[in-house]
Structure 1
């Protein structure tokens, strides 16, 4: 059997707000709540299960999403339309720019809980 990531839990101040934010940016659907979780499933079958916890307990995590070029363009358009600040670098020193690493494009932004989100069009090391 090939090992695959099935799901991960994403801590949030407000699980619905964070799930809807990310789903909106990526053009995904928010799933049916299950217990304390609000799921968002990606195209490769991995589910991000958002869970509300006290804000002081949240530790910033990084989540990267690989998108085809046309979906990157659509996500960038939604980011800009929603006024979400984005950066070309994970240190967030290059606001309003995208990077061109590995022969593709990428950018970083924060979700409502402060997690670092990244969208890229080429996997690292692919160029």
Structure 2
């Protein structure tokens, strides 16, 4: 049996703004309109499909596994845009990154409070 993750819907107060923020910070191509969504394409055919809602947003967590080189660019864009960031999900270590599992990681929020994370090593990999 093969199961692959394909897409998820991310609710936002402004789908264009939120999708643009994510694509910009991650260094991805510009988001594309698809039906009533604005999509951000990731590797392996996965998309994050942003939808505007007027209901309260329940912040979610989205983690992205990236290369060391891509992390450098992501972290530079976070700093250049003065986006607050943390080394931990509890937000107790502001303006720091972590070095979990021998890699690097950073947490930051999108315009609607979704908690985003970029990591260079999967958790539990111990740097392997």
TM-score by length of 1: 0.95
Alignment match, 2:88: 89
Alignment of 1:1-127 (within 5 A): 1-56=1-56, 58-127=57-126
Contact kept, 8 Å, 2:19 with 2:31, in 1: the verdict is no
Structure 1 residue matching 2:34: 3-state secondary structure: coil
Gaps of 5+ in 2: none
After superposition, the Cα gap between the structure-2 partners of 1:109 and 1:95, relative to the gap in structure 1 and judged at 3 Å, is same
User: Paired residues, what number?
Assistant: 126
Gaps of 5+ in 1: none
Q: Hey, what's the Cα distance between the residues in 2 that align with 1:2 and 1:98?
A: 35
Q: Hey, what's the Cα distance between the residues in 2 that align with 1:44 and 1:95?
A: 32
CA-based RMSD of the aligned residues comes to 1.0
Contact kept, 8 Å, 1:87 with 1:95, in 2: the verdict is yes
Q: Hey, what's the Cα distance between the residues in 1 that align with 2:63 and 2:51?
A: 19
